[in-house]
Structure 1
Amino acid sequence: MKNGIILFNPRSAKWKHRIPNSILQIAASIHNKYDYVFVDGNLEKNCWEKIKSYLDSNEFNYFALTVMPGLQLKQAIPFSKSVRENYPEVKIIWGGYFASNQADVSLNSGFVDFVINGPGDKAFPQLINALEHKNDFTGIKNLIFKDGNRIFRTPKADLLDQDSLPPLPYNYLNNFYSLEKYLGKTFLGRRTASYHSSVGCPFTCSFCAVVPIYEARWKGKSAENIFNDLMFLKEQFQIDAVEFHDNNFFVSEKRTLEFSELVRNQKINWWGEGRIDTIDKYKDDSLALMKEAGCKMIFFGAETGNDEVLKQMDKGGTQSRSQIKNFAARLKLFNIIPEYSFVLGLPAENESKVYQQINDDINFIKEIKEINPDTEIIIYVYSPVPTKDSELYQKVTDAGFRFPEKLEDWLSPQWENFDLRKNPLTPWLKPYMIDRIKNFETVLNGYSPTVSDYKLTPIQKKVIKFFSGWRYKTRFYYLPYEIKFLQHFWLKYRQPEIEGFYSE
């Protein structure tokens, strides 16, 4: 058997297929060192048959995949299990947020051999090299593995200088899947690429899956290298827009401005994720330049209008109810759309308090829409993440919440919805509360359709707003069947969400 590597991207989206940057990053680390192939579950009609055909060739000794919470588990778990059962000599390596945050249950499954705990730019090729030469791998950083009945975690590696990393092998990927298939039409442009310009985040929000992995660390590429990469994609594949799927693109105002200066005349629209209390410190001239350079929308974790809950979330910095409102008004002056996400349904002292907080946040969202009607609203139901040292996670476990102890249990519809932040399975959140959140979301998105759903015509938007208006204004959100009917059967409308909240 040769030492070939299958890099597998499990299906992560139902309709929007992004460039699989996670496995491209790993591919860059082994390019010209090992033979490898890509398998993308988003584009394969029969994904398992493709994987099986490679393994049957007897040329592949490693099955490596990125595993994010939610949809990717539907292929990651059964395919990994089938590889173990049918090709027991093949080593199975998982990476991604789910793998890192649920490493114990993954390794205890018996069909995951190693977890790359964080960036794999060094850890992955070092692991392959150690396995190929039968060398000790216990000194490799960013690694989790099982030896007997014990699970071992090696120390975290320092984040690498992102400019020192090799370029992503876009052209090699293009040999397997035409890059055209990843450049979809969005509200940003006709050919929208996805791109990662940094790793990590310097903050420690207690509900964020990134925190246990990066531990408040962040490293970004230089503006010049970001620009050069985008110019390559523009020249080779004619992109006209880009989504920055960094955990926090806007950490450095200096870097943001340097990038904006470089890209301002290239006719590339862009979107990224940031923090309100970070960008609110930007100068007005900086925001004006960003808009001129193509920044159309920024995603922010507003989370809640309750200052006490914001502290409970360990949002850090100075984010507050008043700042969230004022910042929405400020961005309106520059015609940059704020995309605010809210997390509803956190634990509280009693059932009444939980429900009150939900209703308070619903009213706060409506305040934001009054201040800046263009504000996009994304609503999540709170789902715990294993940030075990946080006060919030302690509160969650004290209330009786537990993660599955068996990996295959994550395939149940209930835990899939948990991953997608639709049904959290948390003991303090009752069905009528979830109904309240979802019904309001339906009414809100009928009354104020998202610009991201560019397929809706002006007439369709007027019709759905007409049918939703009385509910929105009277606060009667109960059983909005007429809106759901219009959305599903006439508008083919989908609720706005960050499809890649746990993006690839």
Structure 2
Amino acid sequence: MNKVLLFNPRSAENKPRIPNSIMNIAASINGKYEWVIVDGNCEQDASAKIESYLQTGEFSYLGFSVMPGPQLRQAIPIAKLVKQKFPKTTMIWGGYFPSNHSKVVLDSGYVDFIINGPGDNAFPQLLDALEEAKPYELIKNLIYKADGKIYKTIKEDLLDQDALPRLPYTQLGDFYPIERYLGKTYLGQRTLAYHSSIGCPFTCSFCAVVPIYEARWKGKSAQHIYNDVKYIKDKWGADAIEFHDNNFFVSEKRAVDFARLIKPENMSWWGMARIDTMDKFKDSSLAELRESGCKIIFFGAESGNDSVLEQMDKGGTQTGAQIIRFAERLRKFDIIPEYSFVLGTPAPTPQQVQSQIDFEIDFIKKVKAVNPDTEIIIYTYSPVPTEGSHLYEDVLKSGFTFPQVLEDWISPAWESFDLRKNPLTPWLQPEMIDKIRNFETVLNGLYPTVTDIRLNSIKRRAIKLVAALRYKTSLYKYPYEIKLLHKVWRYRQPEIQGF
């Protein structure tokens, strides 16, 4: 059997996290195919490391996990170089980017297959088919190109997450010390990254998860999650958890069961949720979550405008009034709500676009008024190819197009687009983008994120003093003095750099 090289491209400048996605693939072939992991977050020269493995002649398969944004910066040039130097290798990409942009990836000529969603079955089945020279056309969750055409196989039902093999943490430690992945954050000194579920049961038209999982969700049991976390805590000293699920809190029972199990371990933790889902949680449930160590929860507020929420296909029962009410409710439980807002959705006229932006700015200030501890994260709307949604149809009518050549995705402008910081959309004029960014600067001046552990109390007081008058008088233009302090003190924005 030929060996497999699994590559996790760099996604962070520091504080690497356990590469859970690529570890799931390693688990799926463990014991059947020999594999190695190259983590771009832990290598000074990932390309040289990969080449050193391939030069042995023992590796025929390369699996890349590729998220939009920074990971493309390494994934694209390395994949191209590998195909040039080792043309007989088989290149397999998985992750949100290739699943949502399969044509531009396969048209590049150096990616052979895409795993469209979970690869727990698809990846090993594809290797088996290639090794045995058997057909792969009926393997589920696969995208490939043949005779100039791109083919997508049918989606596989989501698997029982408890039945999947455990992640091979000890074997990962043969390549990189596990302690290196347990970084110091707002949550703790040794923070573990963990995935407890896949997918999301909603169909928001701006979300990259929707085209892949199609409103499906599967989670591990509370006991299974606890067993994994307890193992890493006891073996490597983890004291905090970041749940990187798209939606950790789908089930109130599962969340509360986990809270009860983890409480004696004295670990802090964070996860992502929907406001309208958690607003249905009982007060006793929210209290148990906090008592168990849940300090902060990320919520996609998206907009305080009910018509914009409808335009986004937000689904559920979320409203602007509920967003404010829930922020106020969480305050009494001492759980910090981390609200993200998406500004700059399409509208028929520039005046309407600007009016929506002004509305959201005023709405964010109302949220801060009822709960000043609310963390606010601001994105500009970046289209996602959710075919069939009215929002995406509006995007296409406006003349917006994605890059048609894979290498164009690693330009600085498109990388910022993937981070939802540079929209590149026809309906957003430069002055609109400036207003969004300037308001964000003033907001982050008066309310610096609690998750930036490098910003001490003196610095916080200084920057709040500078920003207070601007915020109170809605004077957002040219906040150069705040930008200077952010630059000098290397202010950390969690939506870009994590905790």
Bin for the TM-score computed over the shorter chain: over 0.9
Q: Which residue of 2 aligns with 1:290?
A: 289
User: Once the 2 structures are TM-superposed, how far is the Cα of residue 359 of structure 1 from its aligned partner?
Assistant: 1.0
Question: What letter matches 1:396 in structure 2?
Answer: V
User: Once the 2 structures are TM-superposed, how far is the Cα of residue 496 of structure 1 from its aligned partner?
Assistant: 3.3
1:109 and 2:76 aligned? no
User: Once the 2 structures are TM-superposed, how far is the Cα of residue 492 of structure 1 from its aligned partner?
Assistant: 2.1
Q: Which residue of 2 aligns with 1:488?
A: 487
Distance in 1 between residues matched to 2:413 and 2:361, nearest whole Å: 25
Q: Is the partner of 2:127 in helix, strand or coil?
A: helix
Q: Is the partner of 1:363 in helix, strand or coil?
A: helix
Deviation string for 1:356-390 (max 9, x for gaps)? 11111011001100100000000001000000110
Q: Which residue of 1 aligns with 2:191?
A: 192
Q: Which residue of 1 aligns with 2:310?
A: 311
Q: Which residue of 1 aligns with 2:49?
A: 50
Unaligned stretches of 5+ residues in structure 1:
none
Stretch deviating more after TM superposition (83-92 or 411-420): 411-420
Q: Is the partner of 1:265 in helix, strand or coil?
A: helix
Matched-pair contact (CA < 8 Å) for 2:445–2:467:
yes
Distance in 1 between residues matched to 2:9 and 2:424, nearest whole Å: 25
Q: Which residue of 2 aligns with 1:231?
A: 230
Distance in 2 between residues matched to 1:495 and 1:54, nearest whole Å: 36
Q: Which residue of 1 aligns with 2:320?
A: 321
Alpha-carbon spacing, 1:500–1:112, altered in 2? closer, same or farther (3 Å): farther
Q: Which residue of 2 aligns with 1:358?
A: 357
TM alignment of 1:95-244, pairs within 5 A:
95-244=94-243
Distance in 2 between residues matched to 1:495 and 1:223, nearest whole Å: 31
Distance in 1 between residues matched to 2:497 and 2:273, nearest whole Å: 17
User: Once the 2 structures are TM-superposed, how far is the Cα of residue 494 of structure 1 from its aligned partner?
Assistant: 2.3
Q: Which residue of 2 aligns with 1:14?
A: 13
TM alignment of 1:493-504, pairs within 5 A:
493-497=491-495, 499=497
Distance in 2 between residues matched to 1:208 and 1:38, nearest whole Å: 29
1:462 and 2:461 aligned? yes
Matched-pair contact (CA < 8 Å) for 2:202–2:210:
yes
User: Once the 2 structures are TM-superposed, how far is the Cα of residue 500 of structure 1 from its aligned partner?
Assistant: 6.5
Q: Is the partner of 1:354 in helix, strand or coil?
A: helix
Question: What letter matches 1:51 in structure 2?
Answer: I
Distance in 2 between residues matched to 1:498 and 1:411, nearest whole Å: 16
Unaligned stretches of 5+ residues in structure 2:
none
Q: Is the partner of 1:334 in helix, strand or coil?
A: coil
Distance in 2 between residues matched to 1:6 and 1:168, nearest whole Å: 16
Distance in 2 between residues matched to 1:499 and 1:3, nearest whole Å: 37
User: Once the 2 structures are TM-superposed, how far is the Cα of residue 63 of structure 1 from its aligned partner?
Assistant: 1.1
Question: What letter matches 1:298 in structure 2?
Answer: I
Q: Is the partner of 1:463 in helix, strand or coil?
A: helix
Distance in 1 between residues matched to 2:313 and 2:5, nearest whole Å: 39
1:91 and 2:90 aligned? yes
User: Once the 2 structures are TM-superposed, how far is the Cα of residue 212 of structure 1 from its aligned partner?
Assistant: 0.2
Matched-pair contact (CA < 8 Å) for 2:140–2:153:
yes
Distance in 2 between residues matched to 1:18 and 1:27, nearest whole Å: 16
Q: TM-score, normalised by structure 2?
A: 0.99
Distance in 2 between residues matched to 1:230 and 1:30, nearest whole Å: 23
Alpha-carbon spacing, 1:500–1:115, altered in 2? closer, same or farther (3 Å): farther
Q: TM-score, normalised by structure 1?
A: 0.98
Distance in 1 between residues matched to 2:287 and 2:410, nearest whole Å: 46
Distance in 2 between residues matched to 1:499 and 1:395, nearest whole Å: 31
Q: Which residue of 1 aligns with 2:63?
A: 64
User: Once the 2 structures are TM-superposed, how far is the Cα of residue 132 of structure 1 from its aligned partner?
Assistant: 0.7
TM alignment of 1:344-383, pairs within 5 A:
344-383=343-382
Q: Is the partner of 1:156 in helix, strand or coil?
A: coil
Distance in 2 between residues matched to 1:409 and 1:191, nearest whole Å: 37
Deviation string for 1:283-324 (max 9, x for gaps)? 000000000001100000000110000011111111000000
Q: Is the partner of 2:135 in helix, strand or coil?
A: coil
Distance in 1 between residues matched to 2:431 and 2:176, nearest whole Å: 45
- Percent identical pairs in the alignment equals 62
Distance in 2 between residues matched to 1:145 and 1:495, nearest whole Å: 37
User: Once the 2 structures are TM-superposed, how far is the Cα of residue 190 of structure 1 from its aligned partner?
Assistant: 0.4
Q: Is the partner of 1:99 in helix, strand or coil?
A: helix
Q: Is the partner of 1:72 in helix, strand or coil?
A: helix
Deviation string for 1:91-140 (max 9, x for gaps)? 00000000100001100110000000000000000000110111111110
Distance in 1 between residues matched to 2:223 and 2:431, nearest whole Å: 51
What is the number of equivalent residue pairs in this alignment?
499
Distance in 2 between residues matched to 1:286 and 1:429, nearest whole Å: 42
Q: Which residue of 2 aligns with 1:445?
A: 444
Distance in 2 between residues matched to 1:495 and 1:432, nearest whole Å: 22
User: Once the 2 structures are TM-superposed, how far is the Cα of residue 498 of structure 1 from its aligned partner?
Assistant: 5.5
User: Once the 2 structures are TM-superposed, how far is the Cα of residue 414 of structure 1 from its aligned partner?
Assistant: 1.3
Distance in 1 between residues matched to 2:74 and 2:492, nearest whole Å: 24
Runs of 4+ more than 2 Å apart: 498-501
Q: Which residue of 2 aligns with 1:472?
A: 471
Distance in 2 between residues matched to 1:75 and 1:351, nearest whole Å: 37
Distance in 2 between residues matched to 1:131 and 1:306, nearest whole Å: 51
Q: Is the partner of 1:352 in helix, strand or coil?
A: helix
Distance in 2 between residues matched to 1:205 and 1:481, nearest whole Å: 36
Question: What letter matches 1:242 in structure 2?
Answer: I
Q: Is the partner of 1:348 in helix, strand or coil?
A: coil
Q: Which residue of 1 aligns with 2:263?
A: 264
User: Once the 2 structures are TM-superposed, how far is the Cα of residue 148 of structure 1 from its aligned partner?
Assistant: 1.2
Question: What letter matches 1:497 in structure 2?
Answer: E
Root-mean-square deviation over aligned CA pairs: 1.0
Q: Is the partner of 1:264 in helix, strand or coil?
A: helix
Distance in 1 between residues matched to 2:478 and 2:443, nearest whole Å: 13
User: Once the 2 structures are TM-superposed, how far is the Cα of residue 499 of structure 1 from its aligned partner?
Assistant: 4.1
Q: Is the partner of 1:176 in helix, strand or coil?
A: coil
